[in-house]
A and B are shown apart, each in its own frame.
Chain A
């Protein structure tokens, strides 16, 4: 009955992804050449191969099967986050990683992204509705809120917001009425000043420094300012690979991870930025196209959830680098160094291909 063919993989999407990955590896190499992390680039290559294998594996399992098992997956995810909370390894003031020994660490919250995508898809698919009722929407929101709060408590504001992004995309596609959208927006605006009180001090400081980075140029505004300087000094054509002073002299914070786009912008300039952003744009549009050609709602929700997820990552990470978004530590998919991020990104890509492979099969 099932006849899966290699031919049906989204080859352009995979090609674009691999180009981005290669750019990422080169940038990691350039950004860490003079630092203690100078081995990061080949580690990243290993992660990428691992990611490709994961993608292959996830493609083989029918996404309907995955959706069937989504609640056990969901509970496993919540359990994983709780474990992180208990045994997590603290770094930079937050517990995000479960140590795996010999320096390896596992970031549960990255994989929870994929689970949230599946959860939202399953829930909305089961509803079979074209006009999402606010009550159902809130129930779904309640389900997503559990991992969101757990991650927020780590604390990791950026990652927790990615779950919300998947939820919002799904709810929007499922036909949440405009008036509800407006009401939610209004409530958010009203609640925001209150919620600021619940933010950690450093998160508040980041918010303040986003609004006015020069207030404390050596403190919380430091990352933002240094990133803006890196980007701005790149100019039209950039300073060249391994020639960026902000990157090479480590004025730029974590230039191979969260601020990799800043390092890229410094060394490749505006032209490089436009080319790279175009690749991301095409990638997202390809995923959206896969949603349009999906054989059923479930597949469409999965693809759109992933499109929303990646769009949110690009918006927040790249916007942060250019000083247009506050500093929230989320990686740039397929580029930032780090196994968990790479693998969860390839899992998401695998889901897209999973849906695509089954578009003619029924």
Chain B
């Protein structure tokens, strides 16, 4: 077989060695495939991450997103206002800013700068913050109340740095100036830890503002409203962007007192007035005005006083120290807390005990020669020259000690303590204020119980003139004398006005003749040249009794021997004599003078009371006349143009 000849051109006819266009990149195909697989894996990896976050547990993150942006801010309810008996506002509220720390965003290292910027003590601040550690996070920490404009500016300009600072609007208490009625009103403040443990305040959260003293404390539940809450959306700097929901607050209820601001003002001014003839500038003590027919307290003053406004924003340590270390006890409500021997103001009670027990009658006579020997002890009368022979009436007007030593000895401690108990000494009056002191009415039983000793008859005469172990408070004395003056009905004193108040009433069928004898005697004290002549008022029959008592041994000790000439000066008065409407008790503690100096303040308050009464009566008559004219179709323009009828001067 012969092969065909090979084309000699075959070598040259081979296609050129030119590689296909893309052969160059073929080597990378498998690597690119790997890259593609890696890309697919990476995308599945990423999507798995989002699956985990968005599909498997979106609720968890949703919650956290809300926790980020939704904040609950308390909306503080204002406390109820306190009004006087005519509805005039005594204690009001005003809005101010409080600063709270939102603890979700709180950083402790910020506290130093915050304390500096807001003029707070760093140590106090850190202590406060630490104290709240155990509390749940939504409980805000109030770090400053009553922010000054400078404080507000600081907070506003540092929002970026301190997102934990949140300003909230708060209602602050505004009390009368110059400490007027301060002791009765009391003050508010942040609830203390000790209080939180007591059942009374158990329902409050730390940082809540509660009544601490006086009416504010006594009627705290009534005055306190229910705080609301506002849910807001905030951004990362804590600025509020939107309001989500609001639970409105319920404001506290207003509280109407029996206090008459007119009388209170007179009492306050009279208490601050110096006694020039004795060169006394400041008087310590108390004045109370009381309506024996109802138990209403019309005025209550205690000196020295304090400014409750200093407490509303948290009292400064310096102010607190000053108040606390003052020997005259500015924070003590002397109207209910001063326990002092009543001195001669007790003599009406001694007389009552003598007359009612039948130990004496109004004609019983005693000769005073400046002193008397009883039970082997010579007891002096305050009038060294003696009063001569006197019966009950002159015994009262002259306040003769010898007379009362004698009838006290005749009447005996059992009768004295019985009638002392009856008029309420040694017991709580039940007044609606916290921390009332009850004084002491000594008796044989009391001595046996406390000293395991029998009563010596020789101790009785000093009790009969209001000395010895006997101590009373001004409110007790007002209630005792008032109840006696109205004929034997002692009503519970109270500060809050209620219709048909039916507090504790003690009734005892006293012999009206005996009451009349005593009232006449007290009339004589004021109007017949007795010791209380300074209490006299034209047109109004005022009855009264002075009292000058030695200091208690404790008080004396406190003065370190400097108080030799100091005594407690009392005056108790009521008017009108036959149908008493008002009883006023004044007590000047550690005062360099006798009870007669306490009489003018009582007179001033009574004058204010009766002036006002006359004014109101005339105004009412005028109104009636005008309305009668109006009903007849006569012009009543005068009613609008002269709403206040001329006030007659009772001088």
Q: Which residues of A contact B (CB under 8 A)?
A: 34, 130, 169, 172-175, 218, 226, 228-236, 245-246, 248-251, 265, 269-270, 273-274, 277, 280-281, 284-285, 288, 291-297, 300, 304, 307-308, 311, 314-315, 318-319, 322-324, 362
Contacts and interface: CB of A to CB of B under 8 A. Distances in A.
Interface in B8-24: 21-22, 24
Main secondary structure of the interface of A (DSSP, over half): helix
Contacts of B27: 130, 175
A250 B233 CA distance: 12
A236 B236 CA distance: 25
A360 B107 CA distance: 66
Contact of A269 (B35, B54, B69, B237): B54
Given A270-B51, A300-B28, A362-B21, A232 B61 contact: yes
A128 to B, nearest CB: 9
A251 B65 CA distance: 9
Interface of B: 21-22, 24-25, 27-29, 31-32, 34-36, 38-40, 42-43, 45-47, 49-55, 57-58, 60-62, 64-66, 68-69, 105, 107, 233-237, 241
A232 B56 CA distance: 9
Nearest to A231: B53
A124 to B, nearest CB: 10
A292 B29 contact: yes
B31 A322 contact: no
B110 to A, nearest CB: 11
B50 A231 contact: yes
Given A231-B53, A233-B58, A235-B54, 11 more contacts: A172-B35, A235-B58, A236-B55, A246-B65, A248-B235, A249-B241, A251-B65, A273-B47, A285-B36, A307-B35, A324-B45
A200 B34 CA distance: 35
Nearest to B25: A300
A265 B50 CA distance: 9
The 9 lowest CB-CB distance pairs between A and B, nearest first, are A232-B61, A235-B58, A322-B49, A233-B65, A249-B235, A270-B54, A232-B53, A130-B27, A233-B61
A175 B31 contact: yes
25 contacts: A174-B28, A175-B27, A175-B28, A218-B105, A228-B61, A229-B61, A229-B68, A231-B54, A232-B54, A232-B57, A232-B65, A249-B234, A249-B235, A280-B43, A281-B39, A281-B43, A285-B39, A294-B25, A297-B25, A307-B35, A314-B46, A319-B49, A322-B52, A323-B49, A362-B21
- From B21, B25, B36, B105, residue with most partner A Cβ within 10 Å: B25
B107 A229 contact: no
Contacts of B54: 231-232, 234-236, 265, 269-270, 273
A146 to B, nearest CB: 26
A166 to B, nearest CB: 13
A277 B24 contact: no
A315 B66 contact: no
Contact of B32 (A270, A288, A296): A288
B36 A251 contact: no
B230 to A, nearest CB: 17
A277 B35 contact: no
Contacts, number: 147
B46 A251 contact: no
Contacts of A307: 35, 39
Nearest to A131: B27
Contact of A274 (B47, B60, B105): B47
B55 to A, nearest CB: 5
Given A229-B61, A236-B58, A314-B46, A284 B39 contact: yes
Contacts of A250: 235-237
B50 A270 contact: yes
Contacts of B43: 277, 280-281
Nearest to B241: A249
A265 B28 CA distance: 36
B73 to A, nearest CB: 16
A322 B107 contact: no
A277 B64 CA distance: 26
A288 B53 contact: no
Nearest to B28: A173
A13 to B, nearest CB: 15
Nearest to B67: A229
A293 B57 CA distance: 44
A35 B275 CA distance: 71
- From B35, B65, B105, B241, residue with most partner A Cβ within 10 Å: B65
Nearest to A278: B43
- From A172, A249, A284, residue with most partner B Cβ within 10 Å: A249
A173 B25 CA distance: 10
Contacts of B31: 172-173, 175
- From B45, B51, B53, B105, residue with most partner A Cβ within 10 Å: B53
A322 B237 CA distance: 24
A324 B49 contact: yes
- From B24, B45, B66, B233, residue with most partner A Cβ within 10 Å: B24
Nearest to A318: B46
- From A304, A307, A322, residue with most partner B Cβ within 10 Å: A322
A175 B36 CA distance: 16
B43 to A, nearest CB: 5
Contacts of A232: 53-54, 57-58, 60-62, 64-65
B69 A249 contact: yes
Contacts of B60: 232
B236 A251 contact: yes
Contacts of B66: 245
A265 B38 CA distance: 24
B46 A322 contact: yes
Contact of A173 (B35, B51, B61, B69): B35
B22 A169 contact: no
A281 to B, nearest CB: 5
- From B28, B46, B49, B235, residue with most partner A Cβ within 10 Å: B46
A17 B151 CA distance: 53
- From B21, B35, B50, B233, residue with most partner A Cβ within 10 Å: B50
A318 B61 CA distance: 18
A307 B40 CA distance: 13
Given A175-B27, A228-B53, A249-B236, A235 B46 contact: no
Given A173-B32, A249-B233, A288-B35, A311 B42 contact: yes
Contacts of B46: 277, 314-315, 318-319, 322, 324
A280 B42 CA distance: 12
B107 to A, nearest CB: 7
Contacts of A233: 58, 61-62, 64-65
A291 B34 CA distance: 14
Contacts of A362: 21
B60 to A, nearest CB: 7
A257 to B, nearest CB: 16
A347 to B, nearest CB: 22
B137 to A, nearest CB: 14
Contacts of A277: 43, 46-47
B49 A296 contact: no
Contacts of A285: 36, 39
Contact of B55 (A270, A296, A304): A270
A172 B30 CA distance: 11
Contacts of B107: 218
A228 B32 CA distance: 33
Contacts of A323: 49, 53
A306 B51 CA distance: 28
